[in-house]
Amino acid sequence: MYGINKDPRSSDQSDDKHNEIAMIKDDKTALTRRKTALTRRRFIQTGFALSAGTAGSLAFNNAQAQFDSQGNLLVAPWTKKTGSDFLTPPYGVPSKYEKGVVRILPTPAAAFPTASRTPLQNLYGIITPNGLIFERHHAGVPDIDPDAHRLVIHGLVDRPLMLTMNDLVRFPSVSMIYFLECSGNGSAELKKRTGTTVQETHGLLSCCEWTGVRLSTVLAETGVKSSAKWLLAEGSDGAAMTRSIPMQKAMDDALLVYAQNGEMLRPEQGYPLRLFLPGYEGNTNIKWLRRLKLGTEPWQTREETSTYTDLGAGGKALQFTFEMGVKSVITQPSGGMRLKQAGFYEITGFAWTGAGKIRSVDVSIDGGKSWDQAALQEPVLNKSLTRFRYPWMWKGEPTVLLSRASDSSGAIQPTVDEVLKLRSANSVYHNNAIQPWLVTANGEVSNGR
C-alpha cells in the first residue's frame, strides 16, 4: 500500500527499512505513534542507565540499614506480630501515614470561603477519591432525606412529572468518567502569582465515574414541546442555586446522577441528586436538584447575570461561557516540592478539555524555548482528565517547566497574556492558561507565574 510490493518470502532488511520510512512519511498517524514510542523508549533507556549508575548506588546505600552485621536481612517489627483484624470505623480510611493528603479547607478571608480544593499533586491515575473531590457551595450543605426528595419537571412539556428517587433509579442507568472543574479555578492567578502548590492554583478540579440516568431518557417521558429551547435547573439548597441550560446540551450528554465512584453521592456533592453536564463549568452542574423547567429563553438568574460572566475590556460581560477550555498542569514536580538531587525525574500531570478529547501535550524543560511531546497514558477519554508523562534528566540547573495541551477540536492551551487579551484584566473565570513551575539550582519548585 505504501511502497513496492515484495515477495513475502523475501527478508531483505534494507527493503523493509525503505518500506517503513515510506509508511511513516505517508501516514501521519504512524508518525505520531512512532514519536510516542521513541519517547517511551527514551524513558526506558534512561531508567536502565540510572539503575546501573547513580540511582542504583543510592538504593544500595539506603538499603544498608536493612541488614545486620552478619549481612542477614533484618525482619521488620510489624512482621513479628499479628496485625489488627479490622480497622475502625467500618467505612475504610487511608493509612495514618497518608494523613497529609487532604483537601484544603477555606479560611474566612479566602477568595472562595465556601470551597475546598483537591490535592492534585498527591493523586495517581485519573480518578479522584470521594473524600478528596473539590467542593463548592453557596449556602452550606443541606441535609436531605432521599425518601422525601422530589424532582419536578414542568414548563413546555406535555406531561409534567414529579419523580421520587426510587422512580429515578428504576430508569436505565449509565456510568461515565468525566472531569468537573469550577469556572473560577485559578482565577487569582490571572492577576498575580497567588498559589504556592498545584492544589492552591488548580485544586477546584476533580475527575470521577458518575452514575445515573441520561436526562434525555427522562425528558422523553414528559413529551418535550418543540418550542422548548432552554432548561432551568434549580437546587434545593439554601441559595436555591439556579442556572439556564441550552436544551441542545440537555438532550445530548447531560446526566441526572445519584452516585459517583461506586457509591451514592456525598452530601457536599449533591446528595441525593445532581445535574451533571460533561465539559461545562462546575456551577451549571446543579447539586441537590429539585426542579427542571423548560422554556423558550434563558431565565437571567442572579448566578448568570451578577456572577459567572466573563468581563470584557469595554465593561460588557459575556454570558454563557459554558464550555471549559483546553488545559493542563504539571503535578510532579510542582510548587512546594523539592528535588533532592540531580538526575532522572518523571514529569507528570493532567490535561483536560470540555470540547472532547486531549489530542497531545507538549512539555518544555527550558522555559518555553523548546517543546517536546509527552506520552499520554491510557485511557484517553472524552471530557475526562488525561494523564501525561515525560522523562526528564535534571542537571541541577535553574529552569522553568511548562505543559501545553491541545484537544480534538484543534484548540491549543493559551498563555496568560492570550487569555487576558480575549477578555480583560477584570476577568475572574475560565483561566486555562499555561502554568509555569520554577526550579531553582537547589531543587526548590515554586509558582513561576
- The domain spans of the chain are 16-45, 115-314, 327-447
Residue 211 has pLDDT above 70, yes or no: yes
Check pLDDT > 90 for residue 352. yes
Angle between helices 28-52 and 54-63 (to 10 degrees): 50
Q: Which three cell numbers stand for residue 79?
A: 512482621
Contact 234, 242 (CB under 8 A): yes
As a whole number, mean pLDDT of residues 285-300 equals 98
- What is the average pLDDT across 15-35? 47
Given the C-alpha cell 480510611, which residue does it identify? Answer: 93
68-82, 206-220, 261-275: least confidently modelled range: 68-82
- Residue-wise pLDDT tens digits, 138-184: 999 999 999 999 999 999 999 999 999 999 999 999 999 999 999 99
**Cis upstream peptide for 246 (omega within 30°):** no
Q: Which H, E and C letters describe the chain, residue by residue?
A: CCCCCCCCCCCCHHHHHHHHHHHHHHCHHHHHHHHHHHHHHHHHHHHHHHHHCHHHHHHHHHHHHHECCCCCECCCHHHCCCCCCCCCCCCCCCCHHHCCCCCECCCCCCCCCCEEECCHHHCCCCCCCHHHCCEECCCCCCCCCCCCCEEEEEECECCCEEEEHHHHHCCCCEEEEEEEECCCCCHHHHCCCCCCCHHHHHCCEEEEEEEEEEHHHHHHCCCECCCCCEEEEEECCCCCCEEEEEHHHHCCCCEEEEEECCEECCHHHCCCCEEECCCECHHHCCCCEEEEEEECCCCCCHHHCCCCCEECCCCCEECCCCECCCEEEEEECCCCCECCCCEEEEEEEEEECCCCCEEEEEEECCCCCCCEECEECCCCCCCCCEEEEEEEEECCCCEEEEEEEEECCCCECCCHHHHHHHCCCCCCCCCCCCCCEEECCCCEEEECC
Residues 299, 231: contact at Cβ < 8 Å? no
Q: What are phi and psi of 152, to 5 degrees?
A: -105, 130
Domains 115-314 and 327-447 fall in the same CATH topology: no
Question: How far is it, in rounded angstroms, from Cα 51 to Cα 192?
Answer: 41
Cis peptide before 379 (omega within 30 of 0): yes
Res 56 pLDDT > 60: no
pLDDT score, position 177: 98
C-alpha angle 106-285-310 in degrees, rounded to nearest 5: 75
pLDDT digits (tens, 9 = 90+) for 400-432: 999 999 999 999 999 999 998 888 778 889 999
Buried b (16+ CB within 10 A) or exposed e, 213-247: bbbeebbeebebeeebebbbbbbbbebbbbbbbbb
Tens of pLDDT, residue by residue over 189-205, are 888 888 999 999 999 99
**DSSP-assigned beta bridge partners for residue 437:** 401, 447
Question: What homologous superfamily does CATH list for 115-314?
Answer: Oxidoreductase, molybdopterin-binding domain (3.90.420.10)
Distances in Å between the Cα of 238 and the Cα atoms of 94, 242, 287, 294, 354 are 33, 11, 11, 23, 29
pLDDT at 6: 38
* pTM for this predicted structure: 0.84
**CA distance to 24, 133, 237, 373, per residue, from 212 (Å):** 44, 18, 20, 37
Fold of 327-447: Immunoglobulin-like (2.60.40)
C-alpha to C-alpha distance for 333 and 404, rounded to whole angstroms: 16
Residue 86's pLDDT band (cuts 50, 70, 90): low
Q: Which of 295-299, 312-316, 395-399 has the lowest mean pLDDT?
A: 312-316
